[in-house]
A and B are shown apart, each in its own frame.
Chain A
């Protein structure tokens, strides 16, 4: 299940560097994640993506929060309660702090990145639970490229790209830091497509995503995401293929949109 969660997040993530005109400050997107078992899709978990303002004494940042929770019928088999957060600039979505808290059955892992954009380094703290129940801390500072972002900020960052003038087949390279390693991802614009969603029959930008980390996303053009072809550019549907199978992510509700 950890692979599925990682793949879902990677699936959405790639590097962007643009002004934010799409993501609002009080947005709430709810998705249903389904997994293909013997050719039949089963609803597995609810994925939420929420934004909110966070005020400090000096400034105001945007909190990007993603959670994944298994539906109650699965909780007895494997209970998932994952939390991903990124605290970013509201105008550029440049990240300053990233936190990840994974609770999947008896498995626990937490990760924190504190960015230093002046030195292009990230101070990381990883926490893992040992077999005896104690928490093991590991501090490490890593050097990254200037455009490297965490998965949550890139997840939202894809919406700041301008697809309206993009030619079909155009591929963009992105750099994501995940598990304290930089991963190169490629996003390919596949054109516009009308699909049926909870918002009605919607015109969407169709994008294919692949990474150089072979154990995350499998296949070519098997990992596809559809963003609404409007100013909000919200993800409405996604299909993914990973080592342990395939599935899809479907938008259930969207509130607090900016446009």
Chain B
């Protein structure tokens, strides 16, 4: 039973570390909490048997690392959009093309009587 909780704890802790460094860092909290639970249960079982607890401390260490990463990213990392030059260029090209096409259209003048929207 102890080994089962240690294996589960290790898997959950490793998953938490991997998720914490990916863009999905918010999801790292789920396996991190599970790893903590498994680690605490394993620690309780080890206390009863008196065996070495080194491996359990590794679970806690990995969990803390993942929680620190995920918390830091969720608080301090502001999502931003980069590499917009291509889209902006496309927007400008599209606008110019649209103007050329609109020139060819017979637009109903009634709809466009009041073109000034600013009050």
Contact = CB atoms under 8 A, between A and B. Distances in A.
Interface of A: 20, 23-25, 32, 37-38, 40-43, 46, 53-63, 65, 67, 69-75, 77, 81, 83, 85, 87, 89-92, 94, 96-97, 99, 101, 114, 117, 258-259
A112 B103 CA distance: 16
A51 B29 CA distance: 40
Contacts of A114: 101, 105
Contact of B27 (A37, A46, A89): A37
A238 B111 CA distance: 31
Contact of B107 (A43, A59, A83, A258): A59
Contacts of A81: 84, 86-87, 90
11 contacts: A25-B117, A46-B79, A56-B99, A69-B87, A71-B79, A89-B107, A90-B112, A91-B112, A97-B105, A99-B94, A258-B118
- The A interface, classified by DSSP as helix, strand, loop or mixed, is strand
Given A42-B24, A59-B107, A69-B84, A90 B79 contact: no
Interface of B: 23-24, 26-27, 29-30, 79-84, 86-87, 90-91, 94-95, 98-99, 101-103, 105, 107-109, 111-119
A63 B95 contact: yes
A258 B117 contact: yes
A54 B87 contact: no
Contacts of A60: 112, 115
Contacts of B113: 91
Given A42-B23, A65-B91, A91-B114, 4 more contacts: A24-B117, A46-B81, A61-B112, A74-B23
B110 to A, nearest CB: 9
A89 B79 contact: no
Contacts of A43: 79
A70 B108 CA distance: 38
B81 A69 contact: yes
B24 A37 contact: yes
A94 B113 CA distance: 13
A226 B112 CA distance: 30
Contacts of B116: 90
A38 B102 contact: no
Contacts of B29: 40
A151 B103 CA distance: 23
